[in-house]
């Protein structure tokens, strides 16, 4: 790993941290926003989900933008928009202006996200892509966990207003944008235009409609199931544990542990996968563990929530960077941004649909048991998709894969994926 690649990786990590720090600062202050802005819980819920809706709407054009003008420039545009939106929330005195600024933040968020995996694929050799992607995605977990931990007990009491709270928690986005503009560079040989092609085969595949690519749908299905479990467990674990007799404080503490359990998994699972030379067992194996966790949650007491969060954190956290890395392993470099955008657009529909459906089920039945059964069924679907996906790890025959040139890594040919 060169000094320049480490610098780019650190800047990408800071952007990932800023994305989720600004996103997840809203849940701890829902009641304060509702009271001060004189809106309903549904309105605040929409405010929180707006950046996730933006991912669905903008991730594909955001990825295509990176394919067209280069990942560094596309991420720079997204970082500036995200920073402006995050900081401008600090000047929002009405709910309408807060909604507009959050939407602008979401636009920048959605341009950055599909280009981060492609960036890692450009800077690192194939055997290190998973680990490097895992490092970047720890920024997501640390940023979200930090916002959940400090927004209500520290930042709001210290500064006293919603506006100052939003402004302070938007500063990482501003810092990330400034450092990206100053320090980030494209690797030698990377072009900012989609006109470049590694091979005739790559050109043909890059120009093919994305919706005809079966690999795109498989990877999108994996991300959908990952987001479904991540966001449903995140949203409803405190309620589940309190219904089992836990106090609100302990339930929140147990629920927050999911993020910390996921951090080592983001490093360990991609590293183990590349070390062993297999991806598929880690995918379908995670689905099996989630089936066990979902069904166990129906019958086990509240204290087992620690174990459940360890399982959910390990599986969703460990597979998330591997799923993103698949976009660099299965798709030509020139269309990796658009392909990743489509994967994110389809996958993140679960981020707002899943928790909403779970809430409707709870309203209707008065219990989360059916939700847990449906999560177990989705775990079964995860297993099936894990078996169906192509194996991109060793033993694959890499052709002229890792050539170090001028301190950067370049991939000349894509791997012959095992059938």
Domain contains 192:
no
Domain contains 195:
no
Domain contains 203:
no
Angle CA(133)–CA(271)–CA(400) in degrees, nearest 5?
A: 75
pLDDT of residue 242: 81
- Show Cβ contacts of residue 371 under 8 Å, excluding neighbours closer than 6 positions: 232, 236, 358, 361, 362
Domain contains 417:
no
- Show Cβ contacts of residue 100 under 8 Å, excluding neighbours closer than 6 positions: 92
CATH code for position 250:
1.20.1250.20
Domain contains 205:
no
Q: What is the residue range of 164's domain?
A: 3-185+212-410
Enter the pTM of the model: 0.71
Provide the sign of the torsion angle of the four alpha carbons 335, 50, 350, 285, taken in this order. positive
Domain contains 207:
no
How many structural domains compose the chain?
1
Domain contains 391:
yes
Domain contains 129:
yes
pLDDT of residue 249: 66
Q: Which is nearest to 87 in space by CA: 150, 156, 176, 3?
A: 176
Q: Residue 245: which region, alpha, beta or left (left: phi > 0; alpha: psi -120 to 50)?
A: left
pLDDT tens profile 153-197: 889 889 989 999 999 999 999 999 999 999 988 776 554 434 333
pLDDT beneath 70: ranges in the chain: 1, 126-127, 130, 188-213, 248-249, 252, 331-337, 393-419
């Amino acid at each position: 790993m060169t000094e320049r690649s480490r610098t780019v990786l650190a800047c990408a990590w800071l952007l990932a941290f800023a994305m989720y720090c600004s996103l997840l600062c809203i849940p701890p202050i829902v009641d304060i926003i509702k009271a001060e802005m004189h809106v309903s819980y549904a309105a605040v819920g929409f405010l929180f989900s707006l950046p996730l809706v933006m991912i669905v709407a903008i991730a594909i054009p955001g990825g295509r933008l990176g394919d067209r003008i280069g990942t560094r420039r596309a991420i720079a545009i997204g970082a500036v928009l995200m920073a402006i939106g995050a900081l401008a929330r600090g000047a929002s005195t009405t709910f309408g202006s807060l909604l507009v600024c959050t939407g602008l933040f979401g636009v920048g968020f959605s341009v950055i996200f599909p280009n981060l995996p492609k960036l890692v694929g450009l800077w690192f050799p194939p055997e290190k892509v998973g680990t490097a992607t895992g490092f970047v995605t720890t920024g997501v977990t640390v940023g979200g966990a930090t916002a959940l931990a400090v927004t209500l007990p520290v930042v709001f009491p210290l500064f006293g207003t919603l506006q100052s709270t939003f402004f302070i928690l938007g500063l990482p986005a501003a810092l990330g944008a400034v450092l990206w503009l100053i320090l980030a560079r494209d690797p030698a040989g990377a072009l900012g235009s989609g006109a470049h092609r590694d091979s005739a085969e790559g050109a043909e595949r890059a120009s093919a409609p994305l919706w005809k690519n079966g690999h795109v749908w498989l990877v999108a299905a994996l991300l959908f199931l990952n987001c479904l479990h991540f966001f449903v467990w995140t949203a409803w674990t405190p309620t589940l544990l309190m219904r089992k007799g836990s106090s609100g404080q302990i339930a929140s503490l147990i629920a927050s542990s999911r993020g910390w359990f996921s951090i080592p998994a983001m490093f360990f699972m991609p590293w183990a996968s590349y070390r062993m030379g297999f991806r598929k067992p880690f995918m379908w194996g995670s689905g099996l563990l989630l089936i066990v966790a979902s069904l166990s949650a129906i019958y086990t007491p509240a204290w087992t929530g620690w174990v459940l969060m360890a399982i959910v954190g390990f599986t969703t956290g460990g597979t998330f960077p591997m799923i993103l890395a698949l976009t660099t392993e299965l798709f030509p470099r020139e269309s990796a941004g658009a392909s990743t955008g489509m994967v994110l657009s389809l996958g993140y529909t679960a981020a707002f649909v899943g928790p909403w459906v779970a809430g409707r089920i709870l309203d209707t039945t008065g219990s989360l048991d059916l939700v847990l059964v449906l999560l177990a069924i989705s775990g079964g679907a995860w297993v099936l998709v894990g078996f169906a996906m192509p194996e991109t790890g060793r033993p694959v025959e890499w052709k002229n894969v890792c050539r170090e040139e001028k301190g950067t890594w370049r991939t000349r040919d894509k791997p012959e994926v095992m059938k």
